[in-house]
């Protein structure tokens, strides 16, 4: 893959920029490279547990300068979708964390309701209880539409992979026999929204992700080229049998950056040769 034509980069976060509170190798150098080349970028993440402002703070604590406006979470996209499709006053029961709850309820557009809601909206919840699952199950069986922010069954942490939003969703689906309508990756909505925000196009964009079933599958759905890095969830063994194949694969961000820099160096060498040939 030739990287020289890329003008927009869409980063996944967990497993690409960091794991837990640990920044991954090559992040600072790659961001500096993109800034030097005037290449636009943003983060798109299925993690709906925090607000973009909280992500800005978290990244800043690791030395990564990423303004909140460049962090597009599945909660943000879910909130946007629901407001486009449901009127003010729609009742909602939520299984989720602060990032999702603040977006849905902070301005009073949606009304929180535990019994008989019109919607059940479910994301990751690190304090999930049987009672929360019970209420959601009853609501869905009672006719509430079931919306999931993302399908990620695992969540990368410093200790290893832990249950994610998709694991909670699997429990609810088992109990209700209802599959959720999923907003986040691998649906193309997040990719297209990010490109619109950045003024980019799919043809000149690159997704950098660590999951085959979300980052790469979503990129394919949105017709965006993709680079898989093996610093998060996906392994080479999984890649060999996956139906979702990235455009290119790198061990980590330093290897990706080296390839990108080499592409630029090769182009510069070819330009010099062309100039010399014309002068002769």
Residue 193 lies in a domain: yes
| CATH code of 175's domain | 3.40.50.1000
Domain closes at, from 124, 149, 182:
182
Asked if residue 111 and residue 91 are part of one domain, the reply reads yes
Residue 225 lies in a domain: yes
Q: Which of these is catalytic: 14, 125, 152, 210? A: 14
Report the C-alpha gap between 104 and 111 in whole angstroms. Answer: 9
What's this model's pTM, rounded to 2 decimal places? 0.75
Its domain, for residue 158, covers 77-182
Residue 55 lies in a domain: no
Asked if residue 164 and residue 126 are part of one domain, the reply reads yes
The predicted structure's pLDDT at residue 77: 86
Q: For this structure, is 274 an active site residue?
A: no
Structure confidence by residue, pLDDT tens digits, 61-78: 999 999 999 999 888 889
Q: Which of these is catalytic: 12, 210, 213, 215? A: 12
Q: What b/e readout covers 227-262, taking b as 16+ CB neighbours within 10 angstroms?
A: bbbbbbbbeeeebeeeebebbbbbeebbbbbeebee
Below-50 pLDDT ranges, the chain: 269-270
Domain count of the fold of the chain:
2
Asked if residue 190 and residue 263 are part of one domain, the reply reads yes
Asked if residue 104 and residue 92 are part of one domain, the reply reads yes
Asked if residue 235 and residue 172 are part of one domain, the reply reads no
Asked if residue 81 and residue 170 are part of one domain, the reply reads yes
Asked if residue 172 and residue 214 are part of one domain, the reply reads no
Closest CA to 64 of 24, 99, 36: 24
Q: For this structure, is 237 an active site residue?
A: no
Report the C-alpha gap between 21 and 45 in whole angstroms. Answer: 16
The predicted structure's pLDDT at residue 152: 85
Asked if residue 151 and residue 101 are part of one domain, the reply reads yes
């Amino acid at each position: 893959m030739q990287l020289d034509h890329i003008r927009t980069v869409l980063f996944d976060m967990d497993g690409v920029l960091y794991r837990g509170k640990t920044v991954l190798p090559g992040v600072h150098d790659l961001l500096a490279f993109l800034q030097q080349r005037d290449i636009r970028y943003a983060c798109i993440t299925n993690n709906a547990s925090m607000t973009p402002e909280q992500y800005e703070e978290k990244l800043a604590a690791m030395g990564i300068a990423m303004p909140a406006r460049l962090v597009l979470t599945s909660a943000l996209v879910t909130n946007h979708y629901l407001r486009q499709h449901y009127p003010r006053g729609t009742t909602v029961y939520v299984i989720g964390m602060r990032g999702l709850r603040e977006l849905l309820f902070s301005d009073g557009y949606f009304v929180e309701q535990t019994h008989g809601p019109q919607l059940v909206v479910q994301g990751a919840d690190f304090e999930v209880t049987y009672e929360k699952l019970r209420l959601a199950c009853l609501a869905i069986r009672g006719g509430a539409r079931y919306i999931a922010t993302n399908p990620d069954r695992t969540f990368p942490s410093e200790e290893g992979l832990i249950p994610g939003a998709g694991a909670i969703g699997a429990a609810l689906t088992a109990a209700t026999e209802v599959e959720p309508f999923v907003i986040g990756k691998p649906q193309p909505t997040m990719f297209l929204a990010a490109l619109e925000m950045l003024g980019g196009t799919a043809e000149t964009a690159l997704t950098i992700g660590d999951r085959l079933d979300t980052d790469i599958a979503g990129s394919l759905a949105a017709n965006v080229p993709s680079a898989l890095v093996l610093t998060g969830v996906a392994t080479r063994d999984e890649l060999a049998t996956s139906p979702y194949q990235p455009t290119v694969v790198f061990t980590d961000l330093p290897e990706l950056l080296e390839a990108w820099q080499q592409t630029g160096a090769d182009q510069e060498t070819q330009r010099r040769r062309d100039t010399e040939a014309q002068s002769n």
